[in-house]
Amino acid sequence: MTLVQRIADLVARIGGVVATKIDATHPGVARAWVCFGYANNQITVRAQHNLASVTRTATGRYRVTFATPMPDANYCWTALARSSVDTGQQRIAVVRASGDTKTAQRVDVSCATAATSFADSSEINLVVYR
């Protein structure tokens, strides 16, 4: 057996072991994610996983509904937002307001300016872990 064949065999064995350890329920794997934005009076979803819908509830405020609900509401989410203009007007994804919901079925995400007023963004990236 050549060195190349031995390395190929080793890689196949490692891949087989890893495949049995990490699956869709592993806590290090995102349960849902989406890249979306709001422009020209409409939401555009560019890419997603486990997404039923994204709804704009108000300026800078969005409801993300999962296709397959989380086991419970004890999940972690993180999001980033892109500025809609190139003049230094930052956009940030912010922690939920008290009236927003976080359930097994959906999460409300807000986007604001550095001056803390709600604002839309042409690109928001949300990732959910559980």
Break the chain into its structural domains and give their ranges.
26-129
Give pLDDT tens digits for 67-98. Answer: 999 999 999 999 988 876 666 677 777 766 67
C-alpha to C-alpha distance for 86 and 11, rounded to whole angstroms:
46
Tokens of 64: 């993300």
What pLDDT shows up at residue 15? Answer: 81
Question: DSSP of 13-25, one letter per residue?
Answer: HHHHHHHHH--TT
Q: What is the pLDDT of residue 85?
A: 63
pLDDT digits (tens, 9 = 90+) for 28-79: 789 999 999 999 999 999 999 999 999 999 999 999 999 999 999 999 999 9
Instruction: Give the pTM.
Output: 0.78
Least confident of 16-20, 44-48, 107-111, 121-125: 16-20
* First-last CA distance in the chain: 44
Work out the average pLDDT over 15-24: 73
- Looking at residues 1-12, what average pLDDT do you find? 88
